[in-house]
Amino acid sequence: MRLIINADDFGYDADTVAATIARLEDGTLTSATIMARMPETKAAIDYARKRPDISFGVHLTYVCDTVEAPVCPASEVPALVRPDGRFLTSNTVRMLAVRGQIPVSQIICETQAQLSLIRDHGLVVSHVDSHGHLHKFRPFRAALEEVLPRFGIRRVRAVQNIYLRRPWTSPTYWLGALWGAGLRRRFATTDYFFMSASAGDANWSHSLIDRQLPGVVEVGVHPGLREEWRRNESMAAAELAALARARGHELITWHAV
């Protein structure tokens, strides 16, 4: 098994940046994706510029959990923002995407702006994923197909296809194979993708490594120190990396995909 352990949300805040850097330095993580307009984006970029041996991608952001806002002027992406200029909530954007009510042109505008911000700081962008996994929906996938070739980017995160238990109420559990096929036809990606936060899995490192999955597996985690769920993911990622090395699996970066 070839394993990528990727930290999402790099730049989200000082806590996540500190925890992500600690796990990059101790060899737990092989990759991280940077959010383009967050309180600690600059700190994430400054670190990434010092570590060309690690793959750094862009965590494309189109939804708001706390303070997320577009890089483009709000007037250029009105379908994605609320009156205060921040993005709409994740559930709202998902519903609009499914209904085809977000113009692809606006997603293209914001995607290009985020990628340009990271690239213009001198970083080589290895791949992209997205906050809330929005890129699996048709309008966002169409935007990536238009924008990524302009930046020489061909790698995109797969749709989750590993579950340690069956999340019966998750649309991705039922439709993920269809959405994933759409991505695989257009981009380079991994054979498998797992994220414990998507299904609420706990104590997952041993269960995942015991599966002995053939091919390349990406595991997405959210390191942090302040919030319990982030601490748990950070510890589980460290355990997974140690188990992988002990059992002879190969830890790789996105550059190897």
| Domain harbouring 50, CATH code | 3.20.20.370
Alpha-carbon gap, residue 163 to 165, rounded angstroms: 5
- Residues 168-179 as b or e (16 or more Cβ within 10 Å = b): eeeebbeebeeb
Nearest alpha-carbon partner for 77 in 59, 62, 92: 62
Task: Look up residue 224 and give its two tokens.
Answer: 């942090």
Instruction: Please give the model's pTM, rounded to 2 decimal places.
Output: 0.96
Tell me which residue range forms the domain holding 249: 2-256
Q: Are 137 and 179 in contact (CB under 8 A)?
A: yes
- Count helices and strands (H / E) in the chain: 9, 7
The tens digit of pLDDT for each residue in 217-248 reads 999 999 999 999 999 999 999 999 999 999 99
Which pLDDT band, with edges at 50, 70 and 90, does 200 fall under? Answer: low
In tens, the pLDDT along 42-99 reads 999 999 999 999 999 999 999 999 999 999 999 999 999 999 999 999 999 999 999 9
What whole-number distance in Å separates Cα of residue 147 and Cα of residue 87? 20
Nearest to 162 by CA among 205, 194, 184, 210: 194
Res 212: pLDDT: 85
Please give the tally of structural domains in the chain: 1
